[in-house]
Amino acid sequence: MSRIICIIGNKGGTGKTTLSHMLCQGLGLLGHRSACVLTDTSREPLTPDGRRYVTADARTPEALHKVVGKLRTMQGWIGVIDGGGNRAEVDRTLNGLADIVLLPFRESHEDLRTVLRDLQDFSHAYGLPSQWPTNAWARDAADRAVAQILGEHKHRLLLPVPSLSASKQLLQKSIPEGLPSNLGNACRALARQVLDILEVGDAASTSGSSREHSEAAASPPPTVLPEGYASTARH
């Protein structure tokens, strides 16, 4: 069964695009086939070369309809849609398409107030702390602000994705052959959180060294969406 994950929210600059690629990278490391779907008209599409996932350009309503329709027919695939920021109407459309909605936010009070409204508007969405500080003092202050402002929604908040300068490498047109291990770990951790919500296990073996061997040996998925899958759409 294919699944659709949408990363949306009214606040810009929360790392939606970076998180979309990190999530797809993590899914690929765990053995899942996924597509990172671009809808933000201010960005250019990236090629799938060297990635563990495919990329798709859906910057027009027609293209979005076509890509989502295709993904819904592809058994076992996961589509991750990058919604962009400050597009309330697009967010409502994507919310209607998604199996899971993620709402990234940073530690600023402006971000927290904005995601609070989004959590109220999208009652089944999950808040995702993004680019979270790694310094102990800054992390403690950020966590206290979250507890103060978003405490009533604590059951809908995922574990933070730490601030990693290496994550920018996933947004390069051509990504390096060897990505840093801390980036891979963060991508896997994010993917596992989402898979837990979807109640989907790792596609690769979960036993210690054999899992790492499977991940290292796995070749990147095909760079085109395959044809011929029977529809298993949930909607």
Give me the pLDDT at residue 204, please: 59
Query: Is the model's pLDDT at 210 over the cut of 60?
Result: no
Question: Would 224 be classed as within a structural domain?
Answer: no
Do 10 and 91 touch, CB atoms closer than 8 A?
yes
Give me the pLDDT at residue 208, please: 45
Type of residue found at 2: S
* Run of H or E including 87: none
Angle of helix 16-29 versus helix 181-198 axis, rounded to 10? 90
Query: Is the model's pLDDT at 110 over the cut of 60?
Result: yes
Query: Is the model's pLDDT at 234 over the cut of 70?
Result: no
Residues 8, 130: Cα–Cα separation, whole Å: 13
Listing DSSP states for 140-182 in one string gives HHHHHHHHHHHGGGGGGBPPPPBP-GGGGGGGSSS--SS--HH
**Residue 67, φ and ψ in degrees, nearest 5:** -65, -45
If you average pLDDT over residues 5-12, what whole number do you get?
A: 95
**Ramachandran class of 84: left when φ > 0, alpha when ψ lies in -120 to 50, beta otherwise:** left
Rg (CA), the chain: 17
Number of domains composing the chain: 1
**Largest separation between any pair of C-alpha atoms in the chain:** 53
Type of residue found at 201: G
Integer CA distances (angstroms), 228 to 71, 74, 88, 225, in order: 11, 8, 35, 10
For the segment 124-145, what is each residue's pLDDT rounded down to a tens digit? 999 999 999 999 999 999 999 9
Give me the pLDDT at residue 86, please: 80
* pLDDT band, very low/low/confident/very high, at 221 (cuts 50, 70, 90): very low
Question: Would 100 be classed as within a structural domain?
Answer: yes
Task: State the virtual CA torsion across 47, 49, 55, 59 in degrees, nearest 10.
Answer: 0
Question: Would 18 be classed as within a structural domain?
Answer: yes
Question: Would 132 be classed as within a structural domain?
Answer: yes
Six token digits for residue 181: 């291990």
If you average pLDDT over residues 80-94, what whole number do you get?
A: 91
Residues 183, 162: Cα–Cα separation, whole Å: 10
Q: Identify the CATH number of the domain in which residue 49 sits.
A: 3.40.50.300
If you average pLDDT over residues 8-31, what whole number do you get?
A: 96
Query: Is the model's pLDDT at 56 over the cut of 60?
Result: yes
Residues 63, 90: Cα–Cα separation, whole Å: 14
Give me the pLDDT at residue 141, please: 96
* Count of other CB atoms within 10 angstroms of residue 33: 21
Query: Is the model's pLDDT at 4 over the cut of 70?
Result: yes
Give me the pLDDT at residue 3, please: 96
Q: Which of 82, 114, 90 is nearest to 5 (CA)?
A: 82
Give me the pLDDT at residue 95, please: 95
Domain housing 63: 3-214
Question: Would 234 be classed as within a structural domain?
Answer: no
Residues 29, 58: Cα–Cα separation, whole Å: 24
Query: Is the model's pLDDT at 220 over the cut of 60?
Result: no
Do 223 and 48 touch, CB atoms closer than 8 A?
yes
Residues 36, 5: Cα–Cα separation, whole Å: 10
Question: Would 233 be classed as within a structural domain?
Answer: no
If you average pLDDT over residues 198-212, what whole number do you get?
A: 59
Between 227 and 79, the higher pLDDT residue: 79
Between 7 and 1, the higher pLDDT residue: 7
pTM of the entire structure? 0.86
Query: Is the model's pLDDT at 46 over the cut of 90?
Result: yes
* pLDDT band, very low/low/confident/very high, at 1 (cuts 50, 70, 90): low
